[in-house]
Amino acid sequence: MARATSPRVPEDPAGLGRARAAGIAAPALLVVAAFLVFPALWTLYLGTTNYRLTGFAARHPRSVGLQNYTNVIQDPEFHHSLWLTFEYVIVSAVIGQAVLGFTIAWLLRDATGWFKRLIEALVLLAWILPSSVVAFLWVAMLDRDAGTLNALLRTPGTAWAIEHPMAVIIVFNIWRGTAFSMLLYSAALTGVPPSQLATARMFGANSWQQLRDVVFPHIRGHILTNLLLISLWTFNDFTPYQITAGGPNGKSEILPVYIYQTALFDGQMGLGAAISLLMLVINLVVALVYLRLLRERRQERVAA
Amino acid sequence: MKDPTVRAALAKIGRYTFLSVLLGFFALPMLWLASAPFNAHPTLDVSISSFTLHNFSVLLKDPYALPSLWNSLLLAGGTALLTVGFAAAAAYALSRVRVPGRDGILYALLLLSSIVTGTAAMVPLFQLAFKLHLIDSRVGVILVFTGGLIPAAIFILKDFTDNTPKSYEESARVFGASPFQIMRHIVLPMIRPGLATVTVWAVVNVWSSFLIPYILVRNPDKYPASVVLYTFYTEGGQPNLALISAFSLLYSIPVIVLYLFVSHRYGFRFHGGIKR
Amino acid sequence: MGAHSAQSRNLRTLMAIGAAAAVLVAGCSSSSSGSGSKPANVNSANQPKNPTLVITANDIAGGKNSNEANWIQKTLIPDFVKSEAAKGITANVTFRPNGVDDTSYKSKLALDLQSGTGDDVFALDGIWVGEFADAGYLKPLTAVAGSQADSWDGWSQISQSVQALGEYQGQRYGVPNGTDARVIFYNKKLFAQAGLPADWQPTSWQDVYDAAAKLKALPGVTPVQWDGGVPMGEATTIQGFLPLLAGAGGSLWSSGKWIQAGAAFKAALGFYQKIYGGGFGDPVLQEDAKGRDKSFTDFAANKIGIYAESDYMWRSVVNPKGGTAPMADRDTAVGYALIPSETAGSGVKGQSFVSYSGGSDWSINPKTKYPQAAWDFLAFLNSKAETESRIGGAALITARTDVNQEVLANDPMLKFATEKVLPVTNFRPSQAAYNDVSNLVQKAVADVVGGKSPADAAAAYEKALEALVGASDVAPGP
């Protein structure tokens, strides 16, 4: 292994020291304190009020304690929305983006030439195009009468976004976000020593065994980062609103859309803030699950 | 055992079929962007029934369309610069100096960033910018974006700084390099692919964002392209497809160029880094 | 990765800091307070000689409402500056364009006004007046500009019902500058093919069903488009449901109370059941996130027979000059008729024909430093000469009767709208809760379009309404 993991190397090899470390981390921490922590906590505070953007509650917001939370938790629309969100995150991010991203990275790891460049460019293009533009592209592609998809599949008159709204936004999100996983795993795969793969092959390991025994142990940290980030981003992704508007009849009303409708369209800032905190807690639980899964794997390896 | 060359050939065919299908999947939605801007009366189908550049000449004369692309560049560039600079420094510091519970703090910040980038934080962000006299200021928009993006940027970059071999830094130190020289000449080149990724990611985030710049900016001469794109609708909310498709194309070109540049210059393919 | 215990410990610390900061924030965010609404002592005699005004509207040159934006910048402001100069006042006026979707514009306006800044004179949708007044973002015009706001000569040219667009709880908060009218548009070419008259005027809902039945025989034609989905938003309420409710003799709000979903409410939903359950309309289109755009395109492509819409359809959608779905033969191919009550005389106030109208206002920021100049601008903007100049020959229904009489004579549809429709039209309640109630209406309509019975949808509406505004604010009605 080329990595320097020997105990001789100290954790702080550059001799940074605590004071200097604090100094170089300070700008980031200051910006974060002022423009992230402060407004986020303020938002959480709004979640305990009935504050609205307009109307009487805008002038005289009242503290309502946990009422927003109890209202939301009892709202069947919220339960529905929550399940849709889980479905959306698990299928489109954890399964879709991560698996597809890894697959592309793995298949293209040794490839060179125009084919590889073309695939990477298209996958990345889907990721970097502005979200309002891609929403338009998908609306055009899925259109009932003029859409490219119906022309291609010879299914005239199929209103995809209405008949299969969840499938549409799930496939959309896979299309949209696979690039990040692909990039991350391509980078991670370069860190897997080719010598170890060669050794494994020499001992007759098939592809799956190579992946399991050589590749995964090396990229575990990257998998964790990847899952944490794409889950969080997918939980917060608002672009599906521009394709299905949460419809029809709330069938694709995932939580970010639910929050948007509540906070911006209905102007119920307090309620929207409360739902945001609930979403944060759910994200935290999801993160703990990931951490636990990866820790178990580490113990397995030690035992093996 | 079957003939290994046959098996290898089959595997290769399978792989390329899969990749070709993938290619189609990723390319299909983009066809509209290639056709509609050049159509005199664009609809939602992919066709050029009557080729024209008229849609673009209208945009050239539009008082806000082209300047808005420049504004987007300023906002995205400023945000990317601050985000990458601050986050890289913080990621390096966090990965080299033991801070109790740093991962917990980092993740807590990441979670809070999901609140701030959502709709519910609109009022606090506006009020904050207002109290700091940052309304109608590009700096204000950049700082708000940067605050929301830094946690994820640190998260991504810390993986890179964690994984660079510490022995290089140690050897440099043995030869008398100062910590800042080590950062500049050893750490920075090694995490460059990570910096490139985070830069593009930050730019893309800012490039798409509508609500934050719209509520914080007053002077329309400072509107970014994301806001101007939303103005090509009628009073009843019907899209002007001719202008929207043409502007979508113009609006997408800078990020595509950025991707090509970064990919050419810094290797999106992550070939840089450690030579073994 | 850090240990669990370290992580939770740090989270706990963070939460403690958070709570402290929140208390701090609570202190600064609740510092705003409103003052009374007695007439302000503002008059032209003692005003500053160099007023600075910023004007804002949801318009932008090159984009949404481009004509109005250009007019404000190139004509209105220079004209105003000149007229002030004649009075010895050097006014410095700038226009701040927006031109985005109404929800975003409303949010920005609200944020600006709640922070105590905001532009001096601004345009807003008439339906926001109640919400903004309750929030303290708007004050009665007399409280801002003094008694001159009531004695303005322009009021005599704005009909009482149109004035309601700027009123809330009996007081004037804004000057209406335009309105619209809902009618039934129909495609004369399809009518001819179906054997229907070119000059069609239904006098009952049954007449609409009968025409739809004949249109249904035409291949590839959707007989009726009656906005009925949640994605269509307010369009479903104002031009879909409300004219039907009025045609059955009902309303959403009356004498201080919201109205239960009674017989009229169920009858209106019954119309939807007849259209979408009977194969006369396309229920899928109502659920489409872009359903309104698509139905406009379909109408222009001669694929829809009957379409309930406002005059917006005529001037901005199928207009051969600059419409989003232009019809070159609009003037001969598109007919228009009054929306009938359920049966003759069954509508509100015993009317046989009904409509609903909306519109926008201009108002003054109560925190303006130059209330006199702001009022002068408002009055100037809504004067006869400037109103004519604003629409610049384009046919648009303004708030002023004198202008409408002159300008709309050239456009038969808009002439029809002002002469025949405005006298029978209704306006939505300017209550702060209207937006929320409207969402409930859309849900009820969507339920019926989706196959639910009108009785069930009405019951669900009533339950949600009571939860929203409180049972004591809901009363029985027709």
Q: What is the pLDDT along chain A (304 residues), one digit of tens a residue?
A: 334 444 445 667 777 788 888 898 999 999 999 999 999 999 999 999 999 999 889 999 999 989 999 999 998 889 999 999 999 999 999 999 999 999 999 988 877 788 888 898 899 999 999 998 999 899 999 988 888 898 888 888 888 988 999 999 999 999 999 998 998 888 788 878 888 888 888 888 888 888 888 888 888 888 888 898 899 889 888 889 989 888 788 889 999 999 888 888 888 899 999 999 999 999 899 888 888 887 655 445 444 3
Asked if the Cβ–Cβ distance from B127 to C65 is below 8 Å, we say no
Name the residue facing B230 among C100, C115, C296 (closest C-beta): C100
**pLDDT at residue C193 above 90?**
yes
pLDDT of amino acid A9: 52
Other beta carbons within 10 Å of C32: 13
DSSP β-bridge partners for residue C340: C353
Closest CA to B225 of A130, A140, A100, C119: A130
A interface test, pick of B23, B208, B262 with most A CB neighbours within 10 Å = B208
Which positions of chain B have pLDDT values less than 50?
269-276
Which residues in chain A have Cβ-Cβ distances shorter than 8 Å to C289?
139, 161, 242-245, 247
Residue of C nearest to A221 (CA): C1
Q: What is the number of CB-based contacts under 8 A between chain A and chain B?
A: 323
Peptide bond into A248 cis (omega under 30): yes
Residue of A nearest to C436 (CA): A266
Contact C238, C455 (CB under 8 A): no
**pLDDT tens by residue, C294-318:** 999 999 999 999 999 999 999 989 9
Q: Does C13 touch chain A (CB under 8 A)?
A: no
Give DSSP secondary structure letters for C335-370: EEEPEEPSSTT-SGGG-SEEEEE-EEEEEE-TT-S-
Name the residue facing B29 among A27, A119, A175 (closest C-beta): A175
Which residues in chain B have Cβ-Cβ distances shorter than 8 Å to A147?
44-45
Q: Which residue has the tokens 């009533």?
A: C462
Contacts of B178 (CB under 8 A, 6+ apart): none
Q: Does C11 touch chain B (CB under 8 A)?
A: yes
Name the residue facing C135 among A54, A161, A247 (closest C-beta): A54
DSSP β-bridge partners for residue C158: C400
Residues 84-143, chain C, touching B (beta carbon < 8 A): 96-102, 104, 107-108, 111, 115, 117
pLDDT of amino acid B272: 33
Contact B212, A35 (CB under 8 A): no
**Whole-number Å distance between alpha carbons of C166 and C359:** 9
**Torsions phi, psi of B52, nearest 5?**
-155, 155
Asked if the Cβ–Cβ distance from A228 to B120 is below 8 Å, we say no
A interface test, pick of C8, C230, C282, C469 with most A CB neighbours within 10 Å = C230
Contacts of B58 (CB under 8 A, 6+ apart): B242, B243, B246, C62
The tokens of C445 are what?
């309509």
**Whole-number Å distance between alpha carbons of A236 and A259:** 10
Which residues in chain C have Cβ-Cβ distances shorter than 8 Å to A161?
288-289
Asked if the Cβ–Cβ distance from B87 to A2 is below 8 Å, we say no
The complex scores an ipTM of 0.89
pLDDT of amino acid C13: 45
pLDDT of amino acid A303: 43
Q: Does B166 touch chain A (CB under 8 A)?
A: yes
**Whole-number Å distance between alpha carbons of C443 and C465:** 12
**Torsions phi, psi of B275, nearest 5?**
-90, 120
The tokens of C300 are what?
């222009």
pLDDT of amino acid B269: 47
Q: Which residue has the tokens 């990847």?
A: A226
**Whole-number Å distance between alpha carbons of A227 and B110:** 13
CA distance C103 to chain A (A): 6
Q: In the sheet where C339-340 sits, what is the strand order?
A: C339-340, C353-357, C425-427
Contact B172, B180 (CB under 8 A): no
Asked if the Cβ–Cβ distance from A59 to C32 is below 8 Å, we say yes
Residues 194-213, chain A, touching B (beta carbon < 8 A): none
Residue predicted with more confidence, C362 or A195: C362
The tokens of A239 are what?
């672009």
**Whole-number Å distance between alpha carbons of C8 and B103:** 11
Helix axes B241-265, B54-61, angle to 10 degrees: 80
Name the residue facing A127 among B113, B172, B204 (closest C-beta): B204
pLDDT of amino acid B189: 85
**Whole-number Å distance between alpha carbons of A58 and A68:** 16
Q: How many CA atoms lie within 13 A of C422 on its CB side?
A: 26
**Torsions phi, psi of B13, nearest 5?**
-60, -45
pTM of the model: 0.90
**pLDDT tens by residue, C385-394:** 999 999 886 7
Asked if the Cβ–Cβ distance from B135 to C65 is below 8 Å, we say no
Name the residue facing C288 among A41, A58, A162 (closest C-beta): A162
Q: Does A183 touch chain B (CB under 8 A)?
A: yes
Which residues in chain A have Cβ-Cβ distances shorter than 8 Å to B248?
130, 132-133, 136
SS3 C452: coil
Q: Which pLDDT band, with edges at 50, 70 and 90, does C370 fall under?
A: very high
Give DSSP secondary structure letters for C47-74: --SS-EEEEEES--TTSTTHHHHHHIII
**Torsions phi, psi of B197, nearest 5?**
-60, -50
Name the residue facing B143 among A14, A35, A129 (closest C-beta): A35
Cα dihedral C170, C174, C177, C179 in deg (nearest 10): -40
Q: Does B246 touch chain A (CB under 8 A)?
A: no
Q: Does A46 touch chain B (CB under 8 A)?
A: yes
A interface test, pick of B86, B126, B131, B250 with most A CB neighbours within 10 Å = B86
Name the residue facing C312 among B218, B227, B236 (closest C-beta): B236
Asked if the Cβ–Cβ distance from C289 to A59 is below 8 Å, we say no
Q: Which residue has the tokens 């170890």?
A: A196
- Mean pLDDT, chain C, rounded, equals 89
Asked if the Cβ–Cβ distance from C101 to B227 is below 8 Å, we say no
